Amino acid sequence: MRGTLMKFLTPFSSFWRHIAGLLLSLASFASFTVVAGPVDCGDRPISIAFFDFGFLYFEQDGQGRGIDKDFVDELAKRTGCKFSTQTMPRARVWADLATGELDMSLSGVQSPERDRFAWFAPYSYFKNFALVRTSTAATVSSAEDFMAQGQLQFGVVRGFVHQPAQEKWLEQLRSTQRVQESASISILFEKLKLGRIDGLFALPVVYRKILQEMKMQDEVVIRDWTPKDKASLGCLVMAKSRFSEAEAVRWRNVVRAMRTDGTLEKIYARYLSPAEARAGVDF
């Protein structure tokens, strides 16, 4: 009787042992996928650089703040990756990305030259406007007017890429030595305030903050000199020395999900008007 019962139970015991093994394998796989996350974080922290740029990044009470800071915090939350952050001039950011000394940066504009050493994942969409000193604006209402007055000087941030028509105009102005380069946007606005330059291009997310802080609202006139130009895509920049094309695609998917689920717009709305926040993700 006992032998008959054991023969009857043995197949079922084998069956349940098989099921238990499958469950353990699935649990192990699930645990692995949670740890792995949507991207490969690598075996060291990802070095990423900020630069002082209006509401995109600024320091307050010794702490980094702004849209780009909040964006990186969200990336860390979603990927589980550790980031090593630093602040540096924009021109050095691009140089270090090109040499592989830096892994990532923020609010970068894609160009053929930069495609040689970096991947790009767009997350913002803002347009540059011309800011001209009020005294200059009396006789200057367009880029052509500015060009025609040979004594006027224009300022740019070293390493910044503008919209196509603006870049073409700046090249013409450079040929007559009338473009002054500065290491940061804050230095550029100081030059504008002191009258060392007569105009500059800036994004609303930048000039809204700086004009208020420097009490310059009545000292400049804001105009759209290139109405046919579309806004520029600000991107997460990933050095090819650190990330493969497949890895860059996975990072783009993370950024795309932030836009799709409304997280990006919520981040922008902390610093901009609702209309500006909506425009920032309208690409």
Could you list the residue range(s) of the whole structural domain that residue 104 is in?
46-126+232-280
Please report the pLDDT score of residue 30 as a whole number.
39
Q: Which of 203, 223, 243 is the last residue of a domain?
A: 223
Quick check: is 33 in a domain? no
Tell me: do 117 and 246 sit in the same domain: yes
Please report the pLDDT score of residue 37 as a whole number.
73
Burial class of residue 194 (count of CB atoms within 10 Å of its CB; 0-12, 13-18, 19+):
exposed
Q: Residue 152 sits in a domain of what CATH number?
A: 3.40.190.10
Please report the pLDDT score of residue 136 as a whole number.
95
Please report the pLDDT score of residue 159 as a whole number.
85
Quick check: is 214 in a domain? yes
Mean pLDDT by runs of 10 across the 283 residues of the chain is 46 46 42 59 97 92 95 98 95 96 96 97 95 96 97 94 93 97 93 98 93 95 93 96 98 98 97 92 92
Q: Which of 223, 247, 265 is the last residue of a domain?
A: 223
The model's pTM is 0.75
DSSP 111-162: -TTGGGTEEEEEEEEE--EEEEEHHHHTT--SHHHHHH-TT--EEEETT---
CB 181 within 8 A of CB 226: no
Please report the pLDDT score of residue 66 as a whole number.
96
Torsion, CA 220, CA 223, CA 229, CA 235, rounded to 10 = 30
Please report the pLDDT score of residue 29 as a whole number.
37
